[in-house]
Amino acid sequence: MLKKIKFPDPIILLMSFIVIAMIATHIVQAGAFERVLDEVSGRQVIVSNSYAITSSSPVGFFDMLVAIPKGMQQAASVIFFVFLVGGSFVVINNTGALKSLVEYVVSKLNGKEIWGISICIFMFASLGAVQNFQEEIIPLVPVLLLLCARLGFDNLTAVAISIGAAFVGAAFSPINPFQVGIAQKIADVELLSGAIFRSGVLVVAVLIYNFMVFRYVKKTRKIPQTIEATHKVYFSKAHKVILLLLGLTFIVLVIGVSKWNWDFEQMTALFFLTGILSGIIGGLKTSGTINSFIEGFKDMVYAGLLIGLARAIYVVLEEGHIVDSIVNSMFTPISQLPTEISLTGITLMQSVMHFPVPSVSGQAVLTIPLLAPLADLMGVSRQLIILCYQYGAGIAELIIPTNGALMAILVACKVPFGKWLKFSIKAYTVLIILGILSIYIAQLIGFN
């Protein structure tokens, strides 16, 4: 089926979703839940059973166009992160340090190149599980493409082993603060509770995903003739210092996000400084460093545009006051069904809901306050509802075109969305079945 479907350019695809969102504001009845500040999570959450119909606020054609720059504005911190970090990596790449690093990795993997796939999947799945890495992966695309090319893997492999693996790690994570952490806070469930069960399912999920990627690369890999068993890699002193600096940058980044509550502005400044220092150390001089930054900006303009357009979809739905209506109409009827069917339906509806709301933290704030009381009425643990949200929304990240980070990485890797979807829909199907089966098992063992 997917072989016959030809997906348009990502910009046209996202613009189409913006138009569909505008039309929906003329069809769907506007409504809203009451919201209160949740002191535990620090976020505005909805009040259960407070949904009420409001006066219609259909978005007109011109307002839809205005939503695009509004989306750019709301996503500005992410867009500038992509610009400046992308520029920094071009600076580092132009010093020759990244090429030397890739050649070194290739020489060490000679004869065992396929295992490099597992190493990358494990690394990015861990980053997804710990800190929900998505946009942070975009600057690494040049390195991933270079590495995959030298190992004989295609560009889709670079997407699969990076952001694809990060999606899987985040979806099944026991500790992701932007997903399960927020959901547990809002549902008034003890933080990190159920971590052992979630960790077990996470291991299974990563192994399954690893197997699926293995199958793909074995079919598509082309053995590069340039790899030699005795290949010797030369690292200059400047290269070693730059790579050490880059490693320290990522360490500081993780500490900053996890311990110092850093946001994209702080991360952007950190990488900008790394880029400047790398240019100086690498001998690019002022003009070479500036030109490298400009080169990086040019490469990332398209990616930044996609991130802004993806955000504009939610802006249109929000201004039309139909986001709450969609949530209410999707989840309330499901709760009246038998327990197993209800849990399955809630999980699948969370996947569907992730199309208009591609933020996992935003979706938690939007749906968990409604679903947590429903869990009490259904006589099931709130942990089960959190699993439904976690698996449904998290695994859907693999297939939704409204995720700006995914679309940006696909563009940077020159992978058409249709080609990615052909691979990822299989992974989504297998993993969502795993998620639903895990929820059934959790119910049987009294998971709470």
How confident is the model over 395-412, as pLDDT tens digits?
999 999 999 999 999 998
Q: What pLDDT is attached to residue 185?
A: 86
Q: What pLDDT is attached to residue 175?
A: 87
Q: Answer whether residue 106 shows pLDDT above 80.
A: no
> Comparing 290 with 255, which gets the higher pLDDT?
290
Q: What pLDDT is attached to residue 3?
A: 57
Mean pLDDT over 180-208 rounds to 91
| Least confidently predicted of 59-73, 95-109, 383-397, 408-422 | 95-109
User: Do the Cβ atoms of 319 and 57 come closer than 8 Å?
Assistant: yes
Q: Answer whether residue 42 shows pLDDT above 70.
A: no
CB atoms inside a 10 Å sphere around CB 285: 11
Residue 406: name the closest of 307, 291, 301, 281 by CA: 307
> Comparing 185 with 274, which gets the higher pLDDT?
274
> Comparing 316 with 369, which gets the higher pLDDT?
316
Start-to-end CA distance of the chain, whole Å, equals 41
Q: Answer whether residue 369 shows pLDDT above 60.
A: yes
Q: How confident is the model at residue 233 (pLDDT cuts 50, 70, 90)?
A: low
Q: What pLDDT is attached to residue 230?
A: 45
Rounded-to-10 torsion of CA 141, 78, 76, 252: -110
Most confident of 130-134, 202-206, 301-305, 324-328: 202-206
- Non-local (6+) Cβ contacts of 294 within 8 A are 87
Mean pLDDT over 411-440 rounds to 96
Percentage, residues of the chain above pLDDT 90: 55
Percentage, residues of the chain above pLDDT 70: 95
Distance CA 291, CA 143 (A): 19
Q: How confident is the model at residue 190 (pLDDT cuts 50, 70, 90)?
A: confident
Most confident of 93-107, 181-195, 282-296: 282-296
Q: Answer whether residue 300 shows pLDDT above 70.
A: yes
> Comparing 436 with 108, which gets the higher pLDDT?
436
Q: Answer whether residue 2 shows pLDDT above 60.
A: no
User: Do the Cβ atoms of 232 and 107 come closer than 8 Å?
Assistant: yes
Q: What pLDDT is attached to residue 439?
A: 96
Q: Answer whether residue 41 shows pLDDT above 70.
A: no
- Residue type present at position 118: S
Question: Domain spans of the chain?
Answer: 10-444
> Comparing 228 with 286, which gets the higher pLDDT?
286
Q: What pLDDT is attached to residue 168?
A: 98
Q: What integer best gives the mean pLDDT of the chain?
A: 89
Distance CA 301, CA 430 (A): 35
Q: What pLDDT is attached to residue 229?
A: 47
Q: Answer whether residue 205 shows pLDDT above 60.
A: yes
| Least confidently predicted of 311-325, 342-356, 358-372, 420-434 | 358-372
- Residue type present at position 447: F
